[in-house]
Structures are given as C-alpha cells and as structure tokens.
Amino acid sequence: MNRRNALRRTALLAGSAVAAPTLLSLLQSCKEQKRVDWVPQFLNQEQAVFVSSFVDTILPKTETPGALDVKVDIFMDLMYAKTYDENGQKYVVEEIDKFNANCKDEYGDVFANLSTEDKTAVLKKAEAETAKFNPGVWGTAVGEQKPVGFYRQLKSMALWAYFSSEEVGKNILSYDPIPGAYLGCIPLSDVGNTWSL
C-alpha cells in the first residue's frame, strides 16, 4: 500500500472518531451547542462553528498542519470584520445561515454536526453546483466571469488563508524571500514543494 492510501485511511478513521461525539450531541438535541474556543469579531457562535468545521473539512490535519492548526477560521472572521463592507458582511451571514439551513433540511442538522459522510456529500454537491473561477491574467479574470457562489468563495478564501499563513509559507512550502537570481530550469527535486512567494 502506498503512503497516500495509508494517509487516506488514517483520515477516514479520524473522521469516524469525530462522528461519535457528534452523534451524541445530536441525541442531546440542542442543549449543548458547539462553540469555538476563540472570540469571533464578526461571526456569531453558530457561524464561527460553521467556518471552523468547513475549513477543517476542506483542509484537515494530516502529516502537515490542518486549517485549524494555522487558525484559518480566526483569520477568516477577521477578514469579514475588517475587509468586507456592509453588503459583503450581510451576504456572508445570509449565505452561512442558508448553507446551514440546507444541511438541516437534507441531513437533519447544521453542517458542523453532520457525519463525515454527510459533510462530504454536502461539499460534493456544492462543488458540482458552483461555477468555477475563470483563469486570470495580470490581476483580472479572462472572459466573462459567472458568479462563483458562496461555496467556492469560501473554499478559495480558506486556501488563501491557509497557504499565506506563516507556518505553511515558511515551513511547509519552499520559502526563499530573496532568491538573488532567476534560474529558468532546475530539477523540481532541488526545490521540493511549491514556492510560497
């Protein structure tokens, strides 16, 4: 068995381990709502729990840190608080609530409380239904960009928040702030991972 499959199996096991307390909280109905252990600046508790759970599902911990290890959820809350205008903020709140409402309709609970299988099903459906980003040249998308919808915006922001974090940028990706020269053709093995900058 190759290493990648081994990793996948471990992840699945980790997933089912998480499922047990979730089931428990379902049984206890809404008495013990999940809470994040940080203080959101913009989101309410339920929305913050959603963002945490979402980014953890997209970018879980493996041999490398997961989204929560580098505080992607906390950073996204900060982005909503400080870089979104009023309309943007309103949109985020409405879309998170809508996303959770859909989860409740289809699977009986908000996203964070779903089983790994159900979360996977929800995200797979969102992937298929949401438009993609057009490729970009020099800072703008080429062609007429269809609205990508909330799911892809969220996923894209999670990736950015993760890969632009100090831990990933300096210690996981290949980091070289002052290259000093341009070498146009070198073996990838000399570099390792993607350049972080």
Partner 1 sequence: MANFNIDAKQDMTYDAIVIGSGISGGWAAKELCEKGLKTLVLERGRIVEHVTDYPTMTLDPWDTELRGSLTPEQKAKHPKGIRSGFIGANNEHFHANDVENPYTEVKPFLWVRAHQMGGRSLLWGKQCYRWSDLDFEANLKDGHGVDWPIRYNDLAPWYTHVEKFAGISGEALGLPQLPDSHFLPPMELNCVEKHVKERIEKEYNGRNMIIGRVAHLTEPINGRGKCQFRNRCDRGCPYGAYFSSNAVTLPAANATGNLTIRPFSIAQSIIYDDESGKATGVRIIDSETGEFMEYHAKIIFCNASTLSSTQILMNSTSDRHPNGLGNASGELGHNLMDHTYRVGAMGKVPGFEDQYYKGRRPNGIYIPRYYNLDEQTKTDNFVRGFGFQGSGGRAGWGAGSNQENFGADFKDGLMKPGPWEFFITGFAECLPNHENKVYLNKEVLDKWGQPTLSIDAEWGENELAMNKQIRKDAKEMLERAGLQDITDFDNEHEMGYGIHEMGTARMGRDPKTSVLNGNNQVHGANNVFVTDGACMTSSSCVNPSLTYMALTARAANFAVSELKKNNL
What type of residue is 33? Q
With a CB cutoff of 8 Å and minimum separation 6, the contacts of 84 are 92
Contacts of partner 1 in 31-50 (CB under 8 A): none
> Which residue of 41, 44, 62, 171 would you call a contact of partner 1, by CB under 8 A?
62
| CA pair distance 60, 69, nearest whole angstrom | 9
* Binding flags for partner 1, 151-190, as an x/- string (CB under 8 A): -x--xx--xx-xxxxx--xx-xx--xxxxxxxxxxxxxxx
Interface residue with partner 1 among 66, 91, 97, 109 (CB under 8 A) is 66
Question: Could you tell me whether strands 140-141 and 136-137 are parallel, antiparallel, or unpaired per DSSP bridges?
Answer: antiparallel
Q: Determine whether 86 is exposed, middle or buried from the number of CB atoms within 10 Å of its CB (0-12, 13-18, 19+).
A: exposed
Which residue of 84, 91, 107, 150 would you call a contact of partner 1, by CB under 8 A?
84
Query: 127, 156 in Cβ contact below 8 A?
Result: no
Tell me whether residue 176 is exposed, middle or buried, using C-beta atoms within 10 angstroms of its C-beta: 0 to 12, 13 to 18, 19 or more: exposed
Q: Which one among 109, 123, 149, 150 touches partner 1, defined by CB under 8 A?
A: 123
User: Least distance (Å) from partner 1 to the CB of residue 34?
Assistant: 20
Residue 98 found at the interface with partner 1 (CB under 8 A): no
Give the span between the Cα atoms of 55 and 52, in whole angstroms.
5
Residues 132-151 that bind partner 1 (CB under 8 A): 132-133, 135, 137-140, 142-143
Q: Shortest gap between Cβ of 163 and partner 1 (angstroms)? A: 5
Minimum CB–partner distance for residue 121 and partner 1 (Å): 12
Q: Is 57 in the site for partner 1 (CB under 8 A)?
A: yes
